[in-house]
């Protein structure tokens, strides 16, 4: 599935059998997967960019609760899906309280895990530490830097605003009116095809020279960023 191709998942689970089972399921669905077998290993890796963390509660060296709390304390907002063998409501509430986004009780079917993951990723588009990614295009909402395939792209403030709006709504068609309302204030009375003009400029900077185009026209409706 193309939609998952750029989502990177960290699986923190000490039981190799379960870890492999999850990994296989994720790879089959097109995710890229990294694994950690101890809490320490997980905390080392979490500085890398992941779109989602699957976190087992019972690890040999650390408690999943502690790991999750540490992640949140270091201001990492990556969604965390907790795996718990204990079917206790208390654990679930505790997990959600310290910043986990969802939990799943073992044993579980891989289909159930995949649909939970999908829901979590939908809830938070691939925004990690202020950086939105769509394919090889990244936009940093804090530094206002845009890169495609590692090459920096200079955008005007308007172009940035329109691109950010499209990327946050990856896969969703935005009409010209929506884009206009987003990027210009209500007093703006521009020429009627102003959005098209800006999209053309954006495309020139972002898509020119690339086989895979990021900005797509949806005929008669508007524009979207792939997805």
Structure token pair of residue 128: 């990690």
Q: Which of 56, 101, 159, 180 binds Ca ion (CB under 5 A)?
A: 56
Q: Which is nearer to Ca ion, 26 or 36 (CB)?
A: 36
DSSP annotation of 38: S
Place of tokens 């329109």: 162
* 34: contact with Ca ion by CB under 5 A: no
* Residue 180: partners with Cβ closer than 8 Å, 6 or more residues away: 188, 190, 194, 195
Count the neighbouring beta carbons within 10 Å of the beta carbon of residue 182.
15
> How many residues line the site for Ca ion (CB under 5 A)?
3
CB of 15 to Ca ion, least distance (A): 5
Q: Which is nearer to Ca ion, 62 or 153 (CB)?
A: 62
Region of 1-9, 11-19, 24-32, 195-203 interacting with Ca ion (CB under 5 A): 11-19
Q: Which of 14, 40, 49, 196 binds Ca ion (CB under 5 A)?
A: 14
CB of 68 to Ca ion, least distance (A): 14
CB of 178 to Ca ion, least distance (A): 46
Q: Which is nearer to Ca ion, 12 or 167 (CB)?
A: 12
Which phi and psi angles does 103 have, rounded to 5°? -145, 160
Give per-residue burial for 76-93: e unless 16+ CB within 10 Å, then b: bebbbbbbbeeeeeebbe
Residue 211: strand, helix, or coil: coil
Q: Which of 32, 41, 45, 58 binds Ca ion (CB under 5 A)?
A: 58
Radius of gyration of the chain, Cα coordinates, nearest whole angstrom: 20
* Nearest residue to Ca ion on Cβ basis: 58
DSSP annotation of 75: T
Q: Which is nearer to Ca ion, 58 or 131 (CB)?
A: 58
Q: Which residues bind Ca ion (CB under 5 A)?
A: 14, 56, 58
């Amino acid at each position: 599935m193309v939609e998952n191709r750029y989502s990177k998942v960290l699986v923190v689970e000490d039981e190799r059998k379960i870890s492999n089972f999850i990994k296989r399921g994720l790879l089959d669905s097109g995710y890229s997967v990294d694994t950690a077998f101890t809490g320490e290993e997980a905390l080392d890796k979490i500085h890398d960019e992941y779109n989602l963390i699957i976190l087992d509660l019972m690890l040999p060296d650390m408690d999943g609760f502690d790991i999750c709390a540490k992640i949140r304390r270091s201001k990492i907002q990556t969604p965390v899906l907790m795996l718990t063998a204990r079917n206790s409501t208390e654990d679930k509430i505790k997990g959600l309280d310290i910043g986990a986004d969802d939990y799943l009780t073992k044993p579980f079917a891989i289909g159930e895990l995949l649909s939970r993951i999908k829901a979590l990723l939908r809830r938070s588009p691939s925004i990690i530490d202020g950086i939105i990614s769509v394919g090889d295009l990244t936009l940093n909402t804090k530094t206002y830097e845009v890169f495609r395939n590692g090459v920096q792209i200079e955008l005007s403030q308007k172009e940035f605003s329109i691109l950010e709006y499209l990327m946050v709504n990856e896969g969703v068609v935005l009409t010209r009116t929506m884009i206009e309302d987003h990027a210009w204030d209500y007093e703006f009375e521009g020429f009627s095809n102003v959005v098209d003009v800006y999209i053309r400029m954006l495309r020139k900077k972002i898509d020119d020279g690339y086989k895979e185009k990021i900005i797509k026209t949806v005929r008669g409706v508007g524009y979207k960023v792939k997805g």
